[in-house]
Structure 1
């Protein structure tokens, strides 16, 4: 008999405990391929498409649009067309009867904490061993360290990886003494000093990339390399409408 394969709620990031299946993108009976976008999933931090981990025919949609379920919960079932309906039903029933959600708040990885750096509080999430060349993630305007929740764990397998909330963002101190890229770069260097990081590979997104580039220009000895994602400051245009809309928005879903 052909294999019956489950599709379960993924664990995106070190702290994710549950997610909402916002929208199915495929119907029952649809053949799906490995890596195909089959649904949208939202968490308290992000909204993202979910790519199928398996190939086959979608035989069951166990969770409906808008439902929130824990990590590991059964979302759907994929099987070959020659697998009987009874076999699929048995698989779903057995899975649901045996499924035990991860206990809320269970220690499944490092958690964010606050450190003092340059006279201000900076929230950070550190993962990985203490040895190896560090990576430091720097998020963009209006974001926080959860920007990197899909990247940090994988990169932390063989080196320390730090993700921080910039001053004025997330769980860091809200007072901004200087909100320019140079001022925020100084705050990042303060964090590196507080953590004893002599140099690191800096990974920045948007404003964070401009900050990383500023550090490379002003303090090159602190930078081992740069990865700049959609960097600000590398062209003449600014998405002013987006920034204005972001500042004016107060609804969490719209902000995500």
Structure 2
């Protein structure tokens, strides 16, 4: 059983750590089964937040305008978490976004965790939905906001305590932290060639991008280039004024 741990929840702009970004981080630190500290931060976004994410979380572009940059926010969270095991609902999903940041920064670190979703799936009725919202309502856990990182982390902390009281003797293995396994490739910055071609391409088609070209990774630049060409067409050679060619 865990006496000391950190409950973690993230909100993201999408489902894929390779292409989407962390929007908000929330956490609750527990020592000797008592809450001793909390963590909450919004991250500044380089692109508009998708409408469906705004509807789900209530987090808007205006709210994140003064948010922290990703490097500062994730570093602060990892310092807060120390080397404590994590607890979370479908924790591998949240961890994958932190792991992607670590891989990009060449940080090697092992993370151990307990997943309340796995506990619920094993111990609660099969026909019952196991989302955090459903379990919160099932156990009467109060929550001021849904799909906000800190509020979800706080609810998960209460849920973990309840599940531990009910099922830890019957299923002790579910309450032992295990190392999270998540294999991700490092995202390298876009090359000068990619960035120059994108700038020429947007100039030619008179497109205003909603993302700074300088901050794109190689894969992001490649996908964006393909998307523009698919939508607007490929420019002809020597089509850009003052340029001899616009080849990628």
TM-score, normalised to structure 2, is: 0.26
TM-score, normalised to structure 1, is: 0.25
More strand by share: 1
